[in-house]
Chains A and B, each alone.
Chain A
Amino acid sequence: ETGVTQTPRHLVMGMTNKKSLKCEQHLGHNAMYWYKQSAKKPLELMFVYSLEERVENNSVPSRFSPECPNSSHLFLHLHTLQPEDSALYLCASSQSPEREGQGTQYFGPGTRLLVL
C-alpha cells in the first residue's frame, strides 16, 4: 500500500501550456524525489529534496521547475515542454538520505504525461 499520492494521473498538454504535477506523501518522510520514466529506458532521477532543500538537480532542462513547500508536498511545474518530454513522471519519498543512509524509497503511482 503506497502512502505517496500523485495528481493528476494522466495529463495531455500542448507545447505552449503551463501545468503542474503534484505529489503528496503521508509517511512522515523528509526526502522527496522526481523521476522520469520513458519507454524502454531506465528510470532517470530528476530532482531530490531533503528537508525541503534541493540537493540534486540532475541536469534537467529549465522547462521543468520543482517546488517543495514542505516535507509532505512536492510539485513539478511544466512549461513549454517538447513532445520528447512525454513520459511517466514518478514521485518518491524516503527518510532523509543524509541521515538514514540507504533508505528505501516509496513511489507514487505516477503521472502519465503526453505532450502534443
Chain B
Amino acid sequence: KNEVEQSPQNLTAQEGEFITINCSYSVGISALHWLQQHPGGGIVSLFMLSSGKKKHGRLIATINIQEKHSSLHITASHPRDSAVYICAVLPLTSGTYKYIFGTGTRLKVLA
C-alpha cells in the first residue's frame, strides 16, 4: 500500500462544478505539495503546505496535520483544469528532497 493515497482516482465534472480531491498519508511530514500534470507530461507545482490553508485564484488547498489529510478544491471548474493532480509529501525522516508521491487524480472537466 502506498504511503500516499489519493481519491478519487478519476473524476469527471461539468464546467462550473466545485471539485474536491483528497490526499491521505500515513507518515509524519514536514511539507505537502500539490502538483498539476497536463497531458504531454509537464508538471507544475500548485501549492506547498505545512499547515492551514492556501488560496490561489480558483484553487484552495487545505491540510490537517493531525488527521494526515489534505484537500485540493477547485471552484468554478473549467475545461482547462483538466489534468492529473498529484499529492506529494516530504516525510520528516527522509531529508529535504525525498518526496513520496501519490498516483494522482485524473480530472476531466466537460464544457
Contacts and interface: CB of A to CB of B under 8 A. Distances in A.
A45 interface: yes
A102 B4 contact: no
Contacts of B90: 102
A104 B35 CA distance: 11
A109 B97 contact: no
A94 B44 contact: no
Contacts of A92: 43
A76 interface: no
Interface string A18-33: 0000000000000101
A53 interface: no
A102 B41 contact: no
Interface in A66-116: 88, 90, 92, 94, 97-98, 100-110, 112
> Interface size class for chain A?
20 to 34
Interface residues of B, number: 27
B76 interface: no
Contacts of A103: 96-97
Given A31-B97, A40-B103, A98-B96, A107 B48 contact: no
Given A42-B4, A102-B30, A110 B41 contact: yes
23 contacts: A2-B42, A2-B44, A40-B103, A42-B101, A42-B102, A42-B104, A43-B86, A45-B97, A48-B97, A56-B98, A88-B41, A90-B41, A90-B43, A97-B96, A102-B30, A102-B96, A103-B96, A104-B48, A106-B45, A107-B44, A109-B42, A110-B40, A110-B42
Interface of B: 2, 4, 30-31, 33, 35, 40-45, 48, 50, 86, 88, 90, 95-104
Given A100-B96, A103-B96, 5 more contacts: A42-B4, A42-B100, A43-B99, A92-B43, A110-B42
Interface of A: 2, 31, 33, 37, 40-43, 45, 48, 56, 88, 90, 92, 94, 97-98, 100-110, 112
